[in-house]
Amino acid sequence: MPGKADDTDQKTPKLLSGGNPQIPKGDGDAPVQAYIAAMPGWKSATGRRIDAIISQALPDVRKAVKWNTPFYGAADQPGWFLSFHCFDRYIKLGFLTGTSLDPEPPISSKVPNVRYWHLHEADEWEDAQLADWVLQASRIPGQKL
């Protein structure tokens, strides 16, 4: 029928270098869920797992997508404490106050205070470790962007 939209009219988000979804910036859960749904292959299921762990650990977590990257912040703290981003072979979790966490996430950054955790498809990892880092990071004022 002319003028009627259907599912085929919906645009699939463009994947940028490394397979990172291009999602319009926005505040709230909806843009984060759109980003996760657009993550390619195994990364989408891992993104859902990451988001679920964060949301369970902090039910009132603030969410946003900025620069094609989901960000998370504590409701009672300024700024953002965590983001993640798709690369060809892994998902990079960025703890924006990571040097304050115990233990520190394993990968250093050129940016002061930031630490990374890379998740590859075959990696086995504990939900409890991510939840612990989320809770620790949520108690520290986040980074203003």
The DSSP line for 72-124 is: EE-TTSSSB-EEEEE-SSEEEEEETTGGGSSSPPSEE-SSTT-EEEEEETT--
Q: To the nearest whole number, what is the mean pLDDT of the chain?
A: 92
Inform me whether the pLDDT recorded for 5 exceeds 60. Answer: no
Amino acid at 119: L
pLDDT of residue 17: 80
CA 87 to chain centre: 13
Instruction: Give, for 70, the enclosing helix (H) or strand (E).
Output: strand 69-73
Inform me whether the pLDDT recorded for 1 exceeds 70. Answer: no
Angle between helices 42-57 and 29-38 (to 10 degrees): 150
**HEC profile of 10-69:** CCCCCECHHHCECCCCEECHHHHHHHHHHCCCHHHHHHHHHHHHHHHHCCCCEEEEECCE
Radius of gyration of the chain (CA): 16
pLDDT of residue 10: 54
Inform me whether the pLDDT recorded for 2 exceeds 80. Answer: no
Query: Is there a domain that residue 81 lies in?
Result: yes
Sheet holding 26-27, edge to edge: 26-27, 62-66, 69-73, 82-86, 90-95, 115-120, 107-108
Query: Is there a domain that residue 61 lies in?
Result: yes
Query: Is there a domain that residue 102 lies in?
Result: yes
Query: Is there a domain that residue 123 lies in?
Result: yes
* Domain count of the fold of the chain: 1
Tens of pLDDT, residues 94-106 = 999 999 999 999 9
Residue 7: pLDDT band with limits 50, 70, 90: very low
CATH code (residue 102): 3.90.1150.200
Structure-token pair, residue 5: 């939209």
Tens of pLDDT, residues 11-63 = 788 888 888 999 999 999 999 999 999 999 999 999 999 999 999 999 999 99
- Contact between 79 and 62 under an 8 Å Cβ cutoff? The reply is no
Query: Is there a domain that residue 36 lies in?
Result: yes
